[in-house]
Amino acid sequence: MASVPNIFTTWPPIRDELETETSASQDKTVQECLPLHLGSRGSFMGDESQGLPKLDRAKHIRYLHRSLEPLPAVFVGYDASRPWVIYWALTALSLLGEDVAPYRERVTQTFSAMQNVDGGFGGGHGQTSHCAPSYAAVLSLAMVGGTASLDMIDRKALKQMGVSESALMEKKMSGQTFEGGISGSPQTEAHGAYAFCALACLSILGPPQEIIPSYLDVHLLLGWLSARQYAPEGGFAGRTNKLVDGCYSHWVGGCWPLLEAAIEGSRTQSETADSPKGSLYSRDGLMRYILACCQSEKGGLRDKPSHSAQNYNYYRKGHADDASRVLPDALQWASVPHRSTDERENGLETLSANARVTPIHPIYVIPSPAVENTRGYFERKGSF
């Protein structure tokens, strides 16, 4: 078995002597992760290079298909999040190379009943429209594709419920906190999810190297994001003094390609693949956390070793390991495999083919072909 770097197998060299409920929870999480990184609790299910366990694709695919079938009564609390349940599962299946087109009719019928005449989609049948379920519904329809699925979106009404660009800019500027992260409203705590949403929105509206520095303090944000990755766990936390959580593999991990684009500017596919620069975060650490600590023995991914698997964790972890090729038009962004300088020089790949997932669009977080097909369809269709 390949050796695992010491940073992922030993306690942090500097620790606060003050014991609190938070520090006790942090110690418990580290104690759960260390044996998994060392492979001493059955986490090494294959012979992956670099001491990484394999991605148990078959179990995860079965888990995700089951999540799109009738769910037990305990899921009643998800009634207002039904578009998200569908979006999480479809995106994760796409990451694993599964064709989601067979779900086209069911997805279209489901969202048809959730779309409101005044624009947008509710979280469930008869519920008020909201930006969050509208986001999940539109992207799910784009993934399954097809004329009927795309035509059912009332684009004119949907646009009317949206926020203006000027209001959006003001919102993003007022949301950056003294720490450097982004909050949901002024004078509140910075959160990884808001950071991704802010960076993605700005990247849609203009070239990231121009628009992001115009509205955000990039260096302050870089410092805050860097502090969200912990060792020895390897994963990300969403807020200051919080525990690592698998879902932030997307929310925080997804910030890095956008922030790199803001710092380095646009790059072609060949320039990205051959770049001597490393990542701004530890890809190695994040991959170890996902593969060693977050895979459930029954299929699916969990936010930390002591928790149960949930399908929203799967799509978020898959998003994190894509490096992006950036072009000025956000709809033309794409993802390409990233290889470090050492990998190129030694002819090594950090992950085997088994553990690599299908690249997805770094802004819209669906497969790039779905973005291209949807854009092409509506361009041919013309204005509403």
pLDDT band at 320 (very low <50, low <70, confident <90, very high): low
Given a contact cutoff of 8 angstroms between Cβ atoms, the answer to whether 237 and 244 are in contact is yes
pLDDT band at 191 (very low <50, low <70, confident <90, very high): very high
Take residue 230 and report the two structure tokens written for it.
């912990």
Cα separation, 300 vs 60, whole angstroms: 5
Of 57-66, 202-211, 301-310, the least confident: 301-310
pLDDT band at 40 (very low <50, low <70, confident <90, very high): low
Quickly tell me which residue has 């149960």 as its tokens.
Answer: 308
Report the pLDDT value the prediction gives residue 75, as an integer from 0 to 100.
84
Q: Which contiguous run of DSSP H or E holds residue 334?
A: strand 334-336
Take residue 158 and report the two structure tokens written for it.
């949907």
Burial label for 254, CB within 10 Å (0-12, 13-18, 19+), is buried
Chain segment 114-161, per-residue pLDDT in tens? 999 999 999 998 999 999 999 999 999 999 999 999 999 999 999 888
Given a contact cutoff of 8 angstroms between Cβ atoms, the answer to whether 48 and 356 are in contact is no
Residue 331 pLDDT > 80: no
Residue 194 pLDDT > 60: yes
pTM of the model: 0.86
Burial label for 5, CB within 10 Å (0-12, 13-18, 19+), is middle
More confident residue, 266 or 262: 262
CA distances from 176 to 164, 168, 183, 199, 363 (A): 19, 13, 6, 11, 20
pLDDT mean over 201-210: 92
CA distances from 347 to 168, 286, 325 (A): 45, 22, 22
Report the pLDDT value the prediction gives residue 73, as an integer from 0 to 100.
86
Residue 349 pLDDT > 60: no
Chain segment 218-264, per-residue pLDDT in tens? 999 999 999 999 999 999 999 999 999 999 999 999 999 999 999 98
Quickly tell me which residue has 């509208």 as its tokens.
Answer: 134
Of 42-46, 237-241, 277-281, 360-364, the least confident: 42-46
pLDDT band at 16 (very low <50, low <70, confident <90, very high): confident
Tell me the DSSP string of 239-271. Answer: STT--B-TTHHHHTTTHHHHHHHHHH----HHH
Report the pLDDT value the prediction gives residue 268, as an integer from 0 to 100.
60
Residue 104 pLDDT > 60: yes
Residue 324 pLDDT > 50: no
Residue 267 pLDDT > 80: no
Report the pLDDT value the prediction gives residue 348, as an integer from 0 to 100.
41
Q: Which contiguous run of DSSP H or E holds residue 32?
A: helix 21-38
pLDDT band at 323 (very low <50, low <70, confident <90, very high): very low
